[in-house]
Amino acid sequence: MTQTSHLIRSASLTGFTDLAQSAGLDPFAMMRKAGLPRRCLDDNETLIGMEAVCRLLDLCAQASEMEAFGLKLASRRHIWELGPVSLVIKQESTALKALKTLLSYNRVLNDALLALVDEEDDVVVIREELMLGKSIPTRQAMELTVGVMFQMLRDILGPGWQPCLVCFTHRPPHDLRFHRSFLGKDIEFNSAFNGIVCSASDMTRELTPPQPGLASFARRFLDTALSQRKPARRETVRHLIAALLGNGRCTVDRVAQHLGVSRQTLHRQLSLEGEPFKSVLDSVRRELALKLCSDSDHSLEDAASMLGFSSASAFAHWFRASFSTSFIRSRRVGRI
């Protein structure tokens, strides 16, 4: 199976040098350890490996003993650092429309990020997950990702805006002070998903967009960039599986329906890439299971539901067959 190299704009490291130095670290030495060249900080549009960014943030958090390292980096970000995308989304008339436009260009910004928007009665739920296809610590990168989304919405809706709830699937840090000062008091750890729950009235409130200027040019530029970064069918299927697992609707027929193809066509497309549907499904489950084991306190029953199993016993059997150990034991030691 060929591993996909996921890319993200180097703008994701905006503020990294100052933050690392304030934590007593040598930023460039840490970048070398993570496999990132120093020159990538010279241009926000340079594409760098998402896996290396995850390693960098994790190394810095450990070396500095700063559990909120990724979130502190997010606090230094703003909407205008999204590059051409910012010109387009600032033309939208509501935060919800801006969010949907942002996610439509997500593959240009970070192709490892699965992001979904659900409109549920009086709330808008933004779900985010990093799908790297590898066992790499993502706690810091996930807090950076959710934190950047929080900052973007605050830039759009104003400094007084607060979400209904901010959610993380991992366990809470020992010190919550920065999380609460930045995100507010309504934070849920060991949650069923990573993301933000917003008031629908906030998200649909009419904004006053600036006069159109470079936005049309930026949209053409982004559309071209998007067409040049079409993912392999396997990667699209991986993202769909991750999105459908938690609601118990992840079947090959359901995935094919979302893609607008028949079951047979989907099987054929995946066969051409050398991996059957069940193998892709298992790889997604393994990746998410590893995250649950290493950095959360979810029960066996909760984990089974989050990974789309019909029962805790079915999940326990699959887990032992996949990792040659039990879920409870592996979570107790924090690794597999």
Cα gap 173→296, rounded to integer Å? 11
Cα gap 297→148, rounded to integer Å? 25
Cα gap 142→71, rounded to integer Å? 9
Q: 176: which residues sit within 8 A by CB, 6+ positions away?
A: 187
Distances (CA, A) of 9 to 53, 138, 196, 242: 10, 17, 22, 23
197 with 162: CB under 8 angstroms? no
In this predicted structure, what is the pLDDT of residue 140?
98
Give me 177's structure tokens. Answer: 């002070």
Cα gap 61→15, rounded to integer Å? 15
Bridge partner residues of 195 (DSSP): 127, 167
* Of 103, 292, 273, residue with least CA distance to 191: 292
Domains and CATH numbers, the chain: 67-204 (no CATH), 233-333 (1.10.10.60)
What's at 272, amino acid-wise?
Answer: L
Q: How many CB atoms within 10 Å of residue 266?
A: 20
In this predicted structure, what is the pLDDT of residue 232?
73
Q: 271: which residues sit within 8 A by CB, 6+ positions away?
A: none
Cα gap 196→187, rounded to integer Å? 9
Cα gap 152→275, rounded to integer Å? 37
In this predicted structure, what is the pLDDT of residue 313?
94
Q: What is the pTM of this model?
A: 0.81
Return per-residue pLDDT of the chain as tens, 336 residues.
Answer: 445 678 888 889 999 999 999 999 999 999 999 999 999 998 888 889 999 999 999 999 999 999 999 999 999 998 888 777 777 787 888 999 999 988 887 777 788 888 989 998 899 999 999 988 778 899 999 999 999 999 999 999 999 999 999 999 999 999 999 999 999 999 999 999 999 999 999 999 998 765 555 455 455 655 665 555 566 778 888 888 888 887 667 889 888 887 788 989 999 989 888 889 999 999 999 989 988 888 888 899 999 999 999 899 999 999 999 999 999 888 776 655
Q: 142: which residues sit within 8 A by CB, 6+ positions away?
A: 70, 128, 129, 130, 168, 169, 170, 194
Give me 157's structure tokens. Answer: 């809706």
Bridge partner residues of 118 (DSSP): 125
What region, left, alpha or beta, does residue 325 occupy, with left being phi > 0 and alpha being psi -120 to 50 degrees? beta
